[in-house]
Amino acid sequence: MRVTTWNVNSLNARKARFIEWTCEASPDVICLQETKMKPEAFPYLELEGMGYESAHFGQGQWNGVAILSRVGITNVKVGLDGGDGSSEEARAISANCGGVSVVCVYVPNGRSLEDDHYRYKLEWLSKLKLHLEKNYRPDQDLVVAGDFNIAPTDLDVWSPEALIGCTHVSEPERDALRELCEFGLTDSLRKFYPQSGIYSWWDHRGGAFHKRQGMRIDYLLVSKSVESRLKWALIDRNARKGEKPSDHAPVTIEFSPPV
């Protein structure tokens, strides 16, 4: 079973690249972030033509998350427990795909350490943990995937020195991520690649990609039962090259399916 997470930074703008990449990589499940699409605009039929059933939580201009599956999709849940209902931003969607529980998240950016959005980010992360505790058990097949907007350690950024005092690397954010993982989740990519220099996001500005100035902020956290069946993990940097790329590369894992 192959599962991908990809912040596409507008599904409309990424349509051609998304279709090209998906046909080539052919994941069973795809978690999308930043669809930036109204609910009624989501291309359910076109995705069905590619073999994917999908569930979308969209709000238009910003945010927007979706789960695509070609192994079935049931028990779709939109948002987080403890959220504000209809006023909640479109940052989380969950479903069961072929016997595996999948949670797709787009964690708030935080903007700066002094910004209210930074406090919102930390609160959102604690709500995500409550959401996991309420809806799942650590001993089941669970994948929590998405754009976390946190670089877990200094290994995950191009220059810790250049990022002192910035969001994505602050201790409270990293603590919140560790607390989330205490539910029983492991950073799947790090099982295969312990080294530095592996990133999933590069700023569109200043030629950051070509200068290798990136961060690893997109990942798939997996429960023990999935971890024990992992075959490989990969960040496809090629998707960040060429015409009209997203600023994020897709991250994919493959594991033996449920028995």
Q: At how many degrees (to 10) do helices 116-135 and 171-181 cross?
A: 10
Listed in sequence order, the residues at least 6 apart from 245 whose beta carbon sits closer than 8 Å to its beta carbon are: 17, 239
**Residue 205 binds to DNA (criterion: CB under 7 A):** yes
**Is the distance from CB of 201 to CB of 214 less than 8 angstroms?**
yes
Q: What angle do CA 48, 56, 258 make, to 5 degrees?
A: 70
Cα separation of 187 and 223, whole Å? 9
Q: How far is the CB of 239 from DNA (least distance, A)?
A: 13
Return the residue of 109, 135, 140, 225 that touches DNA, per CB under 7 A: 109
Stretch in the footprint of DNA (CB under 7 A) among 5-13, 48-56, 122-130, 183-191:
5-13
Return the residue of 61, 126, 159, 238 that touches DNA, per CB under 7 A: 61
**Residue 191 binds to DNA (criterion: CB under 7 A):** no
Q: How far is the CB of 138 from DNA (least distance, A)?
A: 30
Stretch in the footprint of DNA (CB under 7 A) among 6-14, 72-80, 183-191, 249-257:
6-14
Q: How far is the CB of 257 from DNA (least distance, A)?
A: 33
Pairing of β 2-7 and β 29-33: parallel
Return the residue of 16, 48, 51, 62 that touches DNA, per CB under 7 A: 62
Sequence-separated contacts (24+) of 205-212 with Cβ below 8 Å = 209/240, 209/241, 212/158
Cα separation of 216 and 202, whole Å? 9
Cα separation of 174 and 152, whole Å? 6
Q: How far is the CB of 244 from DNA (least distance, A)?
A: 5
**Residue 211 binds to DNA (criterion: CB under 7 A):** no
Stretch in the footprint of DNA (CB under 7 A) among 44-52, 75-83, 107-115, 124-132:
107-115
Q: How many residues does the chain have?
A: 259
Return the residue of 36, 56, 131, 240 that touches DNA, per CB under 7 A: 36
Binding mask 230-259 for DNA (x = CB under 7 A): --------------x---------------
Q: What is the CA radius of gyration of the chain?
A: 17
Which residue ranges make up the site for DNA (CB under 7 A)?
A: 9-10, 12-14, 36, 38, 60-62, 108-109, 111, 117, 149, 204-206, 244
